[in-house]
Amino acid sequence: MASEKPQVMVTCTAPVNIAVIKYWGKRDEALILPINSSLSVTLHQDQLKTTTTAAISKDFTEDRIWLNGREEDVRQPRLQPLLLCLSARKGTAGDGDALPLSLSYKVHVASVNNFPTAAGLASSAAGYACLAYTLAQVYGVEGDLSEVARRGSGSACRSLYGGFVEWQMGKQADGTDSIAQQVAPEWHWPQLRVLVLVVSAEKKLTGSTVGMQTSVETSALLKFRAEAVVPARMTEMTRYIKERDFHGFAQLTMKDSNQFHATCLDTFPPISYLNDTSRRIIQLVHRFNAHHGQTKVAYTFDAGPNAVIFTLDDTVAEFVAAVRHSFPPTANGDKFLKGLQVIPSLLSDELKAALAMEPTPGGVQYIIATQVGPGPQVLDDPHVHLLGPDGLPQRVA
């Protein structure tokens, strides 16, 4: 028999964030407490987002969750701590004995990403931030959700805010001071643009959780980075963002990305998230900057081969043309660029000569053009719910 109409149903979206000072390695695996602080840029949800619907009903017989159309085990290790953490929070919500809803109600959750999952594009950060935020709306839990989101995926706490976000590593053993805070809002630097160069949408061979654990155990460089390098870089990066200093921001972003991947190579056995196309993109960026005699473009790579490029609005068209020249699309050329509209630009012969790169057709599958964006949003339109009146998935967004 179909369930009654759910007691409460809420749909929210949450953004991807891209770290410019990287988090890699935990000092506490259970609580997901990092060995160093980190700083990220929240990308706009018009281009990259997770959408999550959560519903509770007295008629649901068990907790259930569907991710990208497929039902997952609700008891999975990364999900349970988040749900338990939220249960503890919802148990203290409300005034006196008046809890927002019966704690005995089961929950159904459906979540979809509009971008490749597990390919190094921070899908877990957006996913767990969205889950924590949506469930908090359902259960009436208020206040900072850093600890809740962090228990699913560490970097998810940064996706709870728009703009530029710091995740403070904290010092307390219980993790209560390991929280995310906004450094600057999404409208702070309107000229900043972001290009996601999708090299591969395949699931990465070494997951972030396993990779971090191995690095913490075996990399001397990682320990040095966390203790001696990152603290000063956090201060520097915060200053560059507040002053809208693109040169400083770009240079430090690239240096920190390089060092993060160096710690992966310093891990034993070594981990390599970059591929040949990733390295050619790095080369392209440096030659592009050298041609202009200034730092106009910056790259960063998370735990995957896909590049995230930072630049200013007046450079976007030329750099997109440089990417298209170096990695010409092999098919669907009209779909090579997604997201924000970019007016095509012609490359000068001087720049083509400066790039001095043999084209690699199909090396970059497509580009997503986006900008800095806001934090999680509640969607008021009931037509966007991913769950139907029976509490089961009704569509994939």
Break the chain into its structural domains and give their ranges: 8-185+378-384, 192-371
- Extended beta strands in the chain, E state: 8-15, 17-21, 26-28, 33-34, 38-42, 49-57, 64-67, 70-72, 106-113, 164-167, 180-184, 192-198, 297-301, 307-312, 337-339, 366-371, 377-379
Give pLDDT, residue 204.
67
Give pLDDT, residue 118.
45
Q: Write out pLDDT tens, residues 153-204.
A: 899 999 999 999 999 999 999 999 999 999 999 999 999 999 999 998 777 6
Instruction: State the pTM of this model.
Output: 0.93
| Nearest of 293, 294, 287, 283 to residue 250 by alpha carbon | 294
Give pLDDT, residue 215.
97
For the chain, residues with pLDDT lower than 50 are 1-3, 93-100, 118-119, 396-397
Which CATH fold topology does 8-185+378-384 show?
Ribosomal Protein S5; domain 2 (3.30.230)
Q: Give 192-371's CATH code, choosing from 3.40.50.720, 2.40.100.10, 1.10.10.10, 3.30.70.890.
A: 3.30.70.890
